[in-house]
Structure 1
């Protein structure tokens, strides 16, 4: 099947932008629905991308968006939710109900292919509501059977120029002399956003990926404290990283949850109880993953001028987000 037209659900986010760029390189027409078209206006500079203002949680809207397309890629993911059992209502809406609606709309409009981004460690018995809801979302995708033909991707934490992971820790390291760190010894295998985008494209182009679940990771396993210390050094900032016991981390996270945009929640702390490490090859299709050390210096620099303005630049970017 020739791939010509693809809808990216969640395409205006960090990973979605990378996927849109990769599909544009392949000369694919890309539709990016978003509630706030102004936030995705930079995507309109890509020659094959169309940004559409739409509510993807509306089933009729989804069917309209999917009319005549060759594939759908679901990139939607959130990190915070009100609490619930087995997961909170915000996780349920974004990670479970939306995939069900996407599957139904794909079936109604005869969309042949669906690629769904989940998370490494997703499990119905996972320690956090985030991981349990991601597992339920995978079940919703697999319930489609062969219509559409689906592929599930399970990335470790994703890094890249616009990430909210390494950039966040670099920002904190430049503000704080001491950084209490929850899950300091939790292991991660960070995957580069460009590699994730490449895998998405390969899945769409290779029919053999249908019905497969692929883990996505980088070449190296790092403890969280090692990553924080590394990006602090890149940013030219001195910080003492202090491993934080979980009871104290939960208390700190509870206080952070009072903020309109918390950088940490108690559910995030629970997610840190398990490692985010691939069980086999880091990437499918024989791809060679990019390392943090090869990419991060390109956007987190230790030159004196760059370090001086690093915190200010990030504050401005987060305000715009």
Structure 2
């Protein structure tokens, strides 16, 4: 693609989206940010020059708005996904049906370049509806756009993340942090700017066309180890309390009734499954390596945004604990 090409980014105002837009804007592309509520996404306009980034209204559950958002686009990035269901936002309609709709309309519009961001735990056979619909979304995209690039990140971290920030906030108030399933599940946290760079390279180079890339950071750690790292970064001592899945289930059933639940019953199906890059992806270079990216480690980034959770803020000495 040439600078000035128009890229439609569905879900561009989200965590990964805002960083992807920033990376695209630096390359000189024009970006159309397709979101349900464009008035709440006006901040993305500041990531580029005047008129370079423009939010538009689109709902991937609505064919007409998707079609309008794709008009004249040279490439498409689909970032839309949900962690839990609420109202009309259902896993099936958003992650499976929505992905199918965007790919189908992109094909009809003659768009030749398509990048779809999924999740490393996507699995058509999973007990989790989230994971199943992620896999169905991938299948739908590739059925319509065989040359599409599928990117599957592990847990994504960065200043606005919903992982380290959530548990750091919990540690500020709670005397313990729960380790569901004993905290043995492995993760490979990936820096959001690395994911954004992977999106750009998949658009530009064609190296990922028709392939499923698994994106994991340079470090693999258990959930317990990630909680220990979080506590070190915020200078607090808390009890790490193992919580068996059978005891967590009734708690999740209650929590999922909240507007932004920390845990749902569906998510419990995933907590005992490792969230890391597969051996097959490593052997076939379907990782950051295949895109020419050296992923960033957690300890180079976490202090920059977890410092606010220390008792006296970012300037507190890390050896001081409470």
Question: Matches of 1:90 and 1:56 in 2, distance apart?
Answer: 12
Cα distance, 1:121 vs structure 2: 2.1
Q: Which residue of 1 aligns with 2:320?
A: none
> Residues 2-42 of structure 1: CA distance to partner in whole angstroms, max 9, x if unpaired?
36110110101000001000001101100112222232121
8 Å contact kept, 2:118–2:134: yes
8 Å contact kept, 2:202–2:291: no
Bigger mean CA deviation after superposition, 48-57 or 287-296: 48-57
Alpha carbons of 1:89 and 1:16: their partners in 2 closer, same or farther (altered >3 Å)? closer
User: Equivalences for 1:99-110 in 2 at 5 Å?
Assistant: 99-110=99-110
Match of 2:60 among 56, 61, 74: 56
Cα distance, 1:89 vs structure 2: 7.5
> Residues 217-275 of structure 1: CA distance to partner in whole angstroms, max 9, x if unpaired?
00010101111121122122221111210101112111111212211101111111210
Question: Matches of 2:11 and 2:145 in 1, distance apart?
Answer: 23
Question: Matches of 1:98 and 1:211 in 2, distance apart?
Answer: 19
8 Å contact kept, 1:237–1:307: no
Question: Matches of 1:38 and 1:165 in 2, distance apart?
Answer: 26
* TM-score (norm. length: structure 1): 0.89
Corresponding position: 1:305 with 2:312: yes
User: Equivalences for 1:137-156 in 2 at 5 Å?
Assistant: 137-146=137-146, 149-156=147-154
Match of 1:296 among 273, 295, 302: 302
Q: Which residue of 1 aligns with 2:30?
A: 29
8 Å contact kept, 1:72–1:115: yes
* TM-score (norm. length: structure 2): 0.89
Q: Which residue of 2 aligns with 1:233?
A: 232
Runs of 4+ in structure 1 off by over 6 angstroms are none
Bigger mean CA deviation after superposition, 255-264 or 95-104: 255-264
**Structure 1 portions without partners, runs of 5+:** 83-87, 310-321
Question: Matches of 1:251 and 1:225 in 2, distance apart?
Answer: 22
Question: Matches of 2:135 and 2:58 in 1, distance apart?
Answer: 26
Cα distance, 1:307 vs structure 2: 6.3
In the alignment of these two chains, the number of paired residues is: 302
8 Å contact kept, 2:35–2:57: yes
Q: Which residue of 2 aligns with 1:123?
A: 123
User: Equivalences for 1:1-321 in 2 at 5 Å?
Assistant: 1-2=1-2, 4-46=5-47, 47=49, 48-81=52-85, 90-146=90-146, 149-183=147-181, 184-279=183-278, 280=282, 282-283=287-288, 284-301=290-307, 304-306=311-313
